[in-house]
Amino acid sequence: MDLLLDDDERAIADLARDYFAANAGAAPAHSIADGAEVGSPVASSAELGWFGLTVAESAGGLGLSTKELAIAHREAGRALAPLRLLATTVAATAAAVAGDEALLKRLLAGDAVAAIALSTSTGYLLLDADTETSLAVSVLADSTTVTAVTAGDARPADLIDPATPALKVATLGEVLVSADASVSSQATLAIAAAQIGIASASLDMAVDYARDREAFGKPIGSFQAIKHRLADVGVALEAADAQLFFAATAAAENREGAGWEIAAARLLATRAATAATSAAIQTHGAMGITWDHDAHLYLERATLLDRIGPRGAVLARELIAGEGVTP
């Protein structure tokens, strides 16, 4: 098993990073959090083929593997890309697996936009949803469903992530697609990749500040309380990233136990994202908790991503039992 990126995979990583640098990032996230209208990247993402990364070329997709999926979504997480891109990608994969060619065509073209649906005690929260949203995606451990969205009873909802607008609905509409656990597996992998991107960006932010900020005539990164914590975060991030690509490669090669590896990747990615975003805020001191700083955006996005799909305690129990997300 070769976990190193080849030339084509590095090109995809560079393309994704450049694209999200131009179409996402902390600046538009701040604008959304402040209530401003920000243009949607759905149309340009559709032109790049983003929503069909792992959809077969014969069905209109790019025909890439789960390894490329992980590469792309890691960059999306790093840039705080809108969650509708993740949701629409998962919806397109579900439509392809279920054989719904008409819905798949609309999703790949960006004519149908999805939102992740989270169940609550009083209905559902649709993440990164607005008037553009026409579909809801529910990701469970053993299945993924795509339903129609009826905006009649929708009302705005506040999330812990202020850069992700949301709608609250009492019920979801008609079930359009119900796909098997293979789609949940890809969704879990993409979420883990996004969490690792968030962790990487947060650690970079903290390290840069620790090198530049001085106290008592020395960079604060020279003090053990800071450098040892950031080193621990770096180790956690490296472990999570390695597990992500081990899992992605195992899934791409249809290896036995790939589902267990994906569950492990998600668990490690969640822990790395939590550790890195917390460390970034604390390394920046008082400035790190201000509204205008970028650090809180990454912590809030990491917290929100942790709520999607199979979560930490569930994954841990499944791993101990030798189970995991079915590949």
pLDDT in tens, 68-91: 999 999 999 999 999 999 999 999
Q: Which helix (H) or strand (E) holds 155?
A: strand 155-157
Say what the pLDDT of residue 39 is. 87
Alpha carbon distance 209, 213 (integer Å): 6
pLDDT in tens, 99-156: 999 999 999 999 999 999 999 988 999 999 987 788 999 998 778 999 998 766 788 8
Task: Evaluate whether 192 touches 266 at the Cβ level (below 8 Å).
Answer: yes
Alpha carbon distance 22, 36 (integer Å): 18
Asked if residue 21 has pLDDT above 70, the reply is yes
Structure tokens given for 166 = 């949301």
Task: Evaluate whether 69 touches 186 at the Cβ level (below 8 Å).
Answer: yes
Residues 6+ away with beta carbon under 8 Å from 165: 32, 128, 129, 130, 156
Alpha carbon distance 113, 166 (integer Å): 14
Q: For residue 288, give Cα distances in angstroms to 117, 199, 280, 283, 299.
A: 31, 16, 7, 7, 11
Strands 133-139 and 113-120, sheet pairing? parallel
Residue 197 banded pLDDT, cuts 50, 70, 90: very high
Structure tokens given for 316 = 């841990």
Say what the pLDDT of residue 6 is. 83
DSSP assigned state of 49: T
How many C-beta atoms surround the C-beta of residue 269 within 10 A? 34
Place of tokens 């032109």: 47
* All structural domains of the chain: 182-320 (1.20.140.10)
Say what the pLDDT of residue 289 is. 92
188 class by beta-carbon count within 10 Å (0-12 exposed, 13-18 middle, 19+ buried)? buried
pLDDT in tens, 22-51: 999 999 999 999 999 898 899 999 999 999
Residues 6+ away with beta carbon under 8 Å from 172: 117, 124, 136, 138, 147, 148, 149, 150
More confident residue, 169 or 4: 169
pLDDT in tens, 246-289: 999 999 999 988 988 999 999 999 999 999 999 999 999 999 99
Say what the pLDDT of residue 150 is. 76
pLDDT over 90 percentage in the chain:
80
Q: What is the distance in angstroms between the CA of the first residue and the CA of the last residue of the chain?
A: 17
How many C-beta atoms surround the C-beta of residue 18 within 10 A? 11
Please give the mean pLDDT across all residues of the chain: 92
Structure tokens given for 6 = 């080849």
pTM, to two decimals: 0.94
Residue 312 banded pLDDT, cuts 50, 70, 90: low
Residue 326 banded pLDDT, cuts 50, 70, 90: low
Say what the pLDDT of residue 265 is. 95
